[in-house]
Amino acid sequence: MNKIPDSELILNPNGSIFHLHLLPHQISNIILLVGDPGRVEMVSNNFDTIEHRVQNREFATHTGIYNNKRVSVVSTGIGTDNIDIVINELDALVNIDLAERFVKKEHTKLKLVRIGTSGALQEEIAVDSFVLSEYGLGMDGLLHFYRSNFTEEEEILNAFINQTGWSAPLNTPYLVKGSTELFNLLKEGMHTGITATACGFYGPQGRRLRLDMAIDGLNEKLTAFNFKNHKVTNFEMETSALFGLSKLLGHEAITACAIIANRIKKEYSKDYKVTVDKLVKIILHRLTE
């Protein structure tokens, strides 16, 4: 068993993990992930009690009790690069002996539920409704830095590349299925489908301000994709990496998004915070009932 070097597993002087500033006892095995650090308190306000509050940069964590179960909420910031930090460090907290720097023999599985905001890519998905991601479509490239082979999703991915005429200069897309267990637990009353994960907010999501796009009609291509009734339902910036890293590390992960815009109908929520708060309460209840 090889000891993990100091440069690869970086710890703070108090022994906490480098970016999250967390110690192993400060997180639960049930973890809600939100992008905005300000949303952590909005979630934890629902807790009966709060045990730990930790923050460093955009990474805030509250751990407490909800409905007699221990729950953590962690903010990730924006993008798959931050998901790479958060998921690897959360996994290290439960599956690496930080003091001895060895991978533990017994694996601990985390339940990770991302609660986010998103733009719909199908006309029938109304603003202020919810989408539960069955698959994450990675347009970001992050998973290509890890050895992976998601053969279950290969047929859908190949159909996507062929139907959209995906261009060679762009990141090669990848597709990862989320947790079936969490999907079945949370899906009632939600739209479901493929969530496209972009590596940016403007050009990578087909928003044209002053720069021309490398792909004409990107959003239209995503909306038109249909393979055996698998459709791209929405755009956001984290899910593909969350699903991919979680699957490789042996964790259960799913994404539930509040739809705050419909990119096809050009509509935007009048008060998306109300919708997000409703989604938080639904997720907390279903995870702990």
- pLDDT given at position 171: 87
- pLDDT given at position 188: 98
> How far apart (Å, rounded) are the C-alpha atoms in residues 184 and 179?
9
Strands, E assignment, the chain: 30-34, 49-56, 59-66, 69-75, 96-97, 102-103, 111-120, 130-138, 174-177, 191-197, 226-227, 230-236, 252-262, 267-268
> How far apart (Å, rounded) are the C-alpha atoms in residues 119 and 223?
12
State both tokens at 54.
Answer: 């930790």
- pLDDT given at position 216: 83
Q: What is the set of domains in the chain, with CATH numbers?
A: 24-288 (3.40.50.1580)
- Look up residue 265 and give its amino acid: K
Please list, in sequence order, all residues whose beta carbon lies within 8 angstroms of the beta carbon of residue 147, skipping any fewer than 6 positions away: none
> How far apart (Å, rounded) are the C-alpha atoms in residues 35 and 194?
20
Q: Would the pTM count as exceeding 0.85?
A: yes
State both tokens at 114.
Answer: 């991302």
> How far apart (Å, rounded) are the C-alpha atoms in residues 163 and 110?
36
- pLDDT tens-place values along the chain, 289 residues long: 689 999 999 999 999 999 999 999 999 999 999 999 999 999 999 999 999 999 999 999 999 999 999 999 999 999 999 999 999 999 999 999 999 999 999 999 999 999 999 999 999 999 999 999 999 999 999 999 999 888 789 999 999 999 998 877 888 999 999 999 999 999 999 999 999 999 999 999 999 999 998 888 889 999 999 999 999 999 999 999 999 999 999 999 999 999 999 999 999 999 999 999 999 999 999 999 9
Please list, in sequence order, all residues whose beta carbon lies within 8 angstroms of the beta carbon of residue 135, skipping any fewer than 6 positions away: 153, 156, 175, 176, 177, 178, 193, 194, 195, 230, 243
- pLDDT given at position 170: 84
Q: Cβ distance 81 to 141 under 8 Å?
A: no
Q: Which of 177, 93, 166 is nearest to 135 (CA)?
A: 177
> How far apart (Å, rounded) are the C-alpha atoms in residues 159 and 170?
17
Cα distances (Å, whole numbers) of residue 78 to 50, 182, 226, 270: 25, 23, 28, 22
